[in-house]
Structure 1
Amino acid sequence: MRSALPIAIASALIAGSACQPSRREPATHHETRSFPAAAGKVVSCSLRSLDLDVRVQAGETIEVAVDLGVSSSARGAAERWLRSHTPTFRDGPSRLEINLPRRRSGTVLFGYLRTHGRVTLTLPPQSQLEVETSSGDITIGGSQPLAGPVKLRTASGDVEARGGVADLVVRTASGDVEIRDRALASLEFRSASGDVRVRDGCGNVIAETSSGKVRLARLVGTLAATTSSGDVVASWTEPPTRVVVATSSGDVNLELPAGVSLRGDVQTHSGGIHTSFEGRSGKRGRWLVWEGPAEACSVKISTSSGDVRLRRAGRPLPSGSGATPIPTEATTASPPLEI
């Protein structure tokens, strides 16, 4: 009698191979569009998961390039993804809208779906920009800044600016923000858990985050920062007129120009205060007051359990805890604050 085992194994292999996702060629979409530019014209983008690359350069037109790619094991899934992620354009004299079609619900995919998508915008400096994404990253660069504040909103997408922006307003849920290469005139940042990092200077800064870190280098303006558990680290190259920082458990580490004078106070419930600025101490070293002249920098720093470190540029901090300034004759030069 002929054994049924080889036949059963062969049948199982054939059935298993039929269940394996078939390999299909990636589907792609590429298009370029050109629109007239005008002074103050707003370019508004709503791109969900697509990345956005913005390049600011002189010109009379707004150039848009769209690059999409998708591969899928399911028949028709790639085409559906391309249709739902191919931007639509609505242009007018003062506003250009670049949006994605409304997402259709109820589609179930068995198998794999691999996608990538990017929109590249080339804008003249007289343009204004508003962007909203879900997970798409946003990068901006250019030697000249765009007109007006650049407004960016994203859920988990990251933001990187290397020029092309003077005034920046960013709102994220968990996305990080990094500014480098060129200084900003102003920054407004609000996030739940996203970090913000300014490497090469900024004017006035407003930063609000729950658990994100705030790191700001080479500031020349005011600072208003609020966090829950996030740390705040900042340095200035010019004396500010006002510094307000409030945290719960986040630490505060600030470096001010050597010649600045202060008025205001720093206090903490259970954290430590370390400073090279002489002031009047109280509450067992948990409170320090400065009574400088009216033109002095106004300072208000408060934490619950976070430590506070406040020093003059080039001056070290005291080694112990509590509000204990270092005597002038005991100081030696120290390296700049690392951010």
Structure 2
Amino acid sequence: MRNIFTYKNFLLGLVVIASVVTGLVLVGTFSQVQGEKFVYLDGDKAYVSSISSDPVKVADNVQRILDSSNGSSRILYLSSVAEKNIGGQVHGSKLIVMDPATGNERVIAENIVEAKFSPDGTRIVAQSGDYKIRLFTAIGKEITRIGMHGSAPLFSHDGAYIAYHKLADEGEGFRLFEFSPYGIVLYNLATGEEELITDNKDDFQPVGFSLDMSRLYFNSGRKYGTSPEGFENHVASLWMVDLTTKEIKRLTNMSEEVVRQGIMVPTVDGAALWSSDRKMVISSVDPESGTWQFVFNQEGELARAERITDGTSPHWLVPDKNIVVRTKVDGKGEWKTVNIK
């Protein structure tokens, strides 16, 4: 799969990332819901299941399952019923929090395309279809708007910051990306202040921090020289920025020969599974790529990246030790256990 970044593909991806592609195949990653139970989609219906029990339907009219909060068994999802129509095109849906045990639901906001729980489950950051980022309480009270325009918001694992792709202050749609003078921004939740971490508009998605909060990993399609002969490409790849020095390094797809052959490492999903020491991440961005493991060394640089299994939507079965992924066998969705090295 040629994972070449374009604004058009990215704009489309904002709406369809983590959606069900066919049958019971999941795209995206979600926390455990109840013990070893997981949430998945079949068509527009959400089910809770496990590798040892039959699935139980918990919701209808579900477009995407975005997240679940740790310890409280609440699911964050988008309704499949469009709520906002701009210029004849659907841009977002209702954002709903649901308790799968009781079936109780609460509408948090409308015209939403992306959202995540804070690590403690008390807040929600959401991006709307017109690229406005807002912070809500877990019951839907708006706390604040973050910046002017942005996409791909991500809580830091310590709950102190939100990283996001900052877009142009003025304009709409594609122009917000094309004319943005910014890159990745850190928003301090305690002070409300922002810090520009990168200044390239092609830095389109933060995906996680190192344990000590000294480094931020992000996906970017920025230009990169891949050979002594001066060849360059814009292949979407994983990058790292030192949050103190602002030094930036590309970590994947650094060989022009490999890029030309189309044998490339995929980007990291914004909802990927991180190990407890933040030195490993398990990610799946689409069924074709399968599930990948990325391992980092003491300096935060990439030590290894490899495809570890087919299937999508990895969940921790035992944190740091093994996962389950959703596969499709003879047209039927099944869970598969994979041990992590």
Q: What TM-score range do you get, normalising by the shorter chain? A: under 0.3
State which structure, 1 or 2, has the greater radius of gyration over its C-alpha atoms. 1
Q: TM-score, normalised by structure 1?
A: 0.24
**Which protein, 1 or 2, shows the higher relative CO under an 8 Å CA cutoff with sep ≥ 6?**
2
Q: TM-score, normalised by structure 2?
A: 0.24
